[in-house]
Amino acid sequence: MPELPEVEVVRRGLARWVRGRTVTGVEVLDPRSIRRHALGTEDFIGNLEGATVLDVVRRGKFLWMPLSMAGSDTALPGTALMAHLGMSGQLLMQDPQVPDEKHLKVRIRLSASDGMPGQLRFVDQRIFGGLFVTSLIPTPDGGPGGLGETPLPEIAEEAAHIARDPLDPNFSFDEFYRKVKARRTGLKRALLDQSVISGIGNIYADEALWKARLHYARPTEKLRRGDAERVIEAARDVMNAALAAGGTSFDSLYVNVNGDSGTAQNNLNVYGREGRPCKRCGTLIVRERFMNRSSHVCLVCQRKRSSKTR
């Protein structure tokens, strides 16, 4: 499942190619990929054709494109095209002459613009993702709805409950610390709770906890402020490094809008390194069962009980 860096790579790529362009045509090749649009294919197409993409916005792992109709420069009271990538969804910019991808589900034609690719294609092998048109609502905190080139005061309705992520300029550490202390759970569970902090999935939680020297089961109600600050800084570091590498790609299903895979998986310190030596102390990394998946941890660097960092 794509995590924050992967979705942000896609967002940045899309913003470059689609912002300010008008939708001239929509073709739904597989209605299953717009199943979340309750009013069906004709309404989906009708909402998009003639609309201009104002920006590409992200909150955590949620991605959407605010839309405006002809003669308007605002999305209020507005709509947006929401993209849910799922496990294998891809948003690709392609020239019309490029042959259709095997798992192409939706084709969106865009107005011509300085030789830019003319089509936005949604490709999805496993059909867990999809596209749908949604409403924009005022943000609960009154600030920008999410990360975009031009911060808008609205947010996609489905993302309104999602907390800000560590890379968001409006992220509040105090709010995060208050929520995490109130959770009374293990630290990694809190990091994966999108109502506490967004964008952090299994890979980057393991990486951030290793970098911060904190065990994934550390009780949140006993978490010291300094430890919480350390794990947030670690999360920022590992996700910024992943962004610089184009995201993490363990297979060909995650690609950016140009179809290229990321390389961040080549520099992971703990995730997926079970039985290999810790890069910091040499102890073998272990993989433990966690929430129907796994946690990778160094039991020397990341002790279960509170201890001073070495």
The answer on pLDDT for 104 being more than 90 is yes
Average pLDDT over residues 59-70: 88
pLDDT value of residue 293: 83
The answer on pLDDT for 307 being more than 80 is no
Catalytic residue, from 35, 224, 276, 293: name it.
293
Beta bridge partners of 135: 79
Beta bridge partners of 93: 120
Q: Does the annotation mark 211 as catalytic?
A: no
pLDDT in tens, 135-151: 999 998 888 899 998 88
What is the rounded CA–CA span in Å between residue 95 and residue 98?
A: 6
**Token pair for 110:** 């865009």
pLDDT in tens, 213-227: 999 999 999 999 999
pLDDT in tens, 228-243: 999 999 999 999 988 8
What is the rounded CA–CA span in Å between residue 42 and residue 133?
A: 12
pLDDT value of residue 310: 37
Q: How confident is the model at residue 185 (pLDDT cuts 50, 70, 90)?
A: very high
Percent of the chain with pLDDT over 70: 88
pLDDT value of residue 265: 65
Amino acid at 189: R
Cα-Cα end-to-end distance for the chain: 34
Percent of the chain with pLDDT over 90: 67
CA angle 144, 167, 92 (to 5 degrees): 85
Q: Cα–Cα distances in Å, from 231 out to 13, 90, 172?
A: 28, 30, 14
What's 305's DSSP letter?
A: S
Dihedral angle of Cα 102, 98, 20, 162, to the nearest 10 degrees: 20
Q: How confident is the model at residue 308 (pLDDT cuts 50, 70, 90)?
A: very low
Q: How confident is the model at residue 78 (pLDDT cuts 50, 70, 90)?
A: confident
Q: How confident is the model at residue 69 (pLDDT cuts 50, 70, 90)?
A: confident
pLDDT value of residue 249: 46
Q: Does the annotation mark 117 as catalytic?
A: no
The answer on pLDDT for 182 being more than 50 is yes
Higher pLDDT, residue 7 or 308: 7
CA angle 136, 142, 146 (to 5 degrees): 55
pLDDT value of residue 261: 53
The mean of the pLDDT values for the chain is: 88
Q: Does the annotation mark 99 as catalytic?
A: no
- Among 209, 220, 218, 197, which Cα is nearest to 268's? 209
pLDDT value of residue 248: 53
Catalytic residue, from 11, 58, 59, 61: name it.
61
Q: Does the annotation mark 31 as catalytic?
A: no
The answer on pLDDT for 306 being more than 50 is no
The answer on pLDDT for 208 being more than 60 is yes
| Low-confidence winner among 149-158, 246-255, 282-291 (lowest mean pLDDT) | 246-255
